[in-house]
Amino acid sequence: MFELLPGNFARAVLGQSATPEIVENFNRRAGLDRPFFERFGVWLWGVVQGDFGISYSSLTASSTGDQDRTVASMILPRLENTLFLAAAVAIVAVPLSLGLGLLAALYRGSIFDRVVNAATLTSISFPEFFIGYILMLFFAVQLPWFYATSMIESTTTFWDHLERIGLPLICLVLVIVAHMMRMTRAAIINLLASPFIEMARLKGMPPSRVIWHHALPNAWAPIATVVGLNLAYLVVGVVVVEVVFAYPGIGRLMVDAVVSRDVPVVQGCAIIFAAVYVLLNLSADIIGIVTNPRLLHPR
């Protein structure tokens, strides 16, 4: 996609005031004087060996005496911040969504079910950046309860880190809970209408035993798939949220690299996103098989 953009990469990075000699030297050091497929093949071979390349921005800084910065050294601290935010959201969102989905299924058609469905449908309907700005307006500007921006540094303590991600956490929880809660509710309702559930009720089993020992074990497969997809979204899809709240994660790093046309950084972020998404989806499929009694105990 970068190859389709008009203009010269070296000119975009160095500026229009750069001399032809400087541009030629930069192209040679960055490998931009070689064909695209050759550069991409070299980069892929480096990724296999654990080398994500050198940032273009560091190549311009090295002319002033600074040392070249590898893409891996730029991505690693940002990835840690993104994983910290994703883990905090998952700890809150997963139990909350499962509990709300289970209660909404058990009390289907009640006022509680209608209120929860309306609230989740509303949060799904709005994009994340809109929810983020609304939260920022009410809970950081009018009511100074949270930080408007989530600036994190290497010296930030654990508790300060938690305090500063308050608004991004709430924003992502609203979106994640909406998806997982609705899918959990649908899975439980579908199972409650199954013949083996009706038979368990006719035998006089208490409702709690019917839910915990018969309905939930068979509902874990679709629920695990939804949880895995949403956890993948927490890492891959937080780009907008990180930009809105100025959170120094890998998503914001990728956006900044796109703006500065730092191709190696963009490629490094993209391969990390792809790997995380594939691994989490694979984990969701494995959990869905392991937790499904019909697959573990075939007749």
The number of beta carbons lying within 10 Å of the beta carbon of residue 289 is: 12
> Has residue 38 been placed in a domain?
no
> Has residue 233 been placed in a domain?
yes
pTM over 0.85: no
Give the chain's domain count: 1
> Has residue 70 been placed in a domain?
no
Domain encompassing residue 232 = 76-296
For 59-114, how does the pLDDT look when each residue is reduced to its tens digit (9 = 90+)?
A: 665 444 445 578 888 888 888 888 888 888 888 888 888 888 888 887 888 888 88
Q: How far is CA 152 from CA 83, 141, 241, 249, in A?
A: 13, 20, 15, 9
Structure tokens that stand for 39 in this block: 């550069």
Nearest Cα to Cα of residue 98 among 210, 182, 213: 182
Nearest Cα to Cα of residue 70 among 46, 40, 39: 46
Cα within 13 Å of Cα(207), Cβ side: 6
Domain at 141, CATH number: 1.10.3720.10
C-alpha span between 230 and 218 (Å, rounded): 20
For 37-67, how does the pLDDT look when each residue is reduced to its tens digit (9 = 90+)?
A: 888 888 888 888 888 888 877 766 544 444 5
φ/ψ of 262, rounded to 5, equals -85, 85
Query: What letters, b where the CB count within 10 A reaches 16 and e where it falls short, cover 230-268?
Result: bbbbbbbbbbbbbbbbebbbbbbbbbbbeebbbbbbbbb
> Has residue 292 been placed in a domain?
yes
In this predicted structure, what is the pLDDT of residue 74?
A: 86
